[in-house]
Chains A and B, each alone.
Chain A
């Protein structure tokens, strides 16, 4: 492999301002050119020929970068508020979906209630039908989750059917597992049945973890653009490091005082008052945060 291609690529990018974006594009094009040159060489061209042809096929890279700049500028309709955009892209829930969710919620509630009544001995149900009811309820819950995810919303695209099916299964397993754990706790089934509970819960955790880890973007383009614009508006703490430092000190003071108050409360009026101090401290921190992030700017 000759180095021609790298020299030609440098020439093609000569005079282009090397922003991170341009650098990225250059590296991307480089790998693609190398692959194209290799292909041309296999078909019998000399390496110099191949490099020149590959570059010629590419065309003008400046156009690409300018084009990218142009698309970003005309797509920033920042003057339109988020609420207005939301209204424009509004997606109403489908009637069929609403009906289905109501039916499945009913299945869940009825199944669960009957199962609990059976397990506690209020209703004389055989254990087999209690487990059956639990499965019925779990299926209802899973369907609510799966069906909701596969709906298109104002801000999100629907989850693909397979993935929505995965969430359905994970919810069903979790619900069934927890239900079994409940039956064991109530003494309706023998202790060893805890194995089923563990099996359901653990497999649902694994499935949820897999689905969560492999989840990709579902936001619609307009939402992403709105988020991007919002991020551009500003992060005060990034613009004014001294404000961030001040917030850090305030936070430390608030929590030290909160801790002291907790200690005092525990030894004077009793430990059950301690959470109150915690809540007060948290509220105070949030107020300070809001004030520092969104308060009037000093210029």
Chain B
């Protein structure tokens, strides 16, 4: 992993909770689906580790931001689905606006405008 990747992975990991909430906003998902959504979105690079995700689900559930329920699959083990709660939506919304505000500040401090124009 290059230094750039490590930097990006670090940034991403800092927002794991919000990212998982964002995925669940689109509908109930079980662990592997959440993992896959994130992996697909990152194009397979610097993905969030599964172990990190399990820890995230537990924390989110303890804080009441998601609820879990078991699916009724008969083959290959029952899946544990996660559903976002109203509290989860509220926290998601707040984190997204915080991110948008922060992004704007960092963009302007790092002169990102010029960079993107060059490409």
Contact = CB atoms under 8 A, between A and B. Distances in A.
Nearest to A149: B86
A178 B31 CA distance: 47
B14 interface: no
Interface stretch (B2-10, B76-84, B96-104, B106-114): B76-84
The secondary structure that dominates the A interface is helix
Contact of A71 (B32, B59, B65, B87): B59
Interface string A148-164: 00001000111110010
A215 interface: yes
Nearest to B87: A157
Contacts of B35: 32
B31 A28 contact: yes
B6 to A, nearest CB: 18
Contacts of A36: 32
Contacts of A58: 50-51
Given A59-B51, A217-B85, A219-B87, A31 B67 contact: no
B105 interface: no
B51 A63 contact: yes
A25 B54 contact: yes
A221 B51 contact: no
Contacts of B93: 160
Interface residues of A, number: 40
A39 B59 CA distance: 28
A31 B76 contact: yes
Interface string A130-160: 0000000000000000000000100011111
Interface string B41-63: 00000000111001100110011
Interface residues of B, number: 36
A216 B62 contact: no
A68 interface: yes
A185 to B, nearest CB: 38
B63 A31 contact: no
A48 B31 CA distance: 22
Nearest to B79: A31
Contact of B49 (A59, A160, A220, A221): A59
A64 B76 contact: no
B51 A31 contact: no
Nearest to B71: A31
B90 interface: yes
Contacts of B55: 64, 67-68, 71
B78 A27 contact: yes
Given A28-B80, A31-B80, A157-B91, A218 B31 contact: no
A27 B87 CA distance: 27
Given A35-B32, A59-B50, A71-B59, A221 B64 contact: yes
Interface in A191-216: 215-216
B13 interface: no
A288 interface: no
A149 B63 CA distance: 20
By Cβ-Cβ distance, the 5 closest A-B pairs, closest first, are A157-B90, A216-B85, A221-B63, A30-B77, A34-B76
Interface of A: 1, 24-25, 27-32, 34-36, 39, 57-60, 63-64, 67-68, 71-72, 75, 152, 156-160, 163, 215-221, 224-225
6 contacts: A31-B71, A31-B80, A35-B33, A157-B90, A220-B87, A221-B64
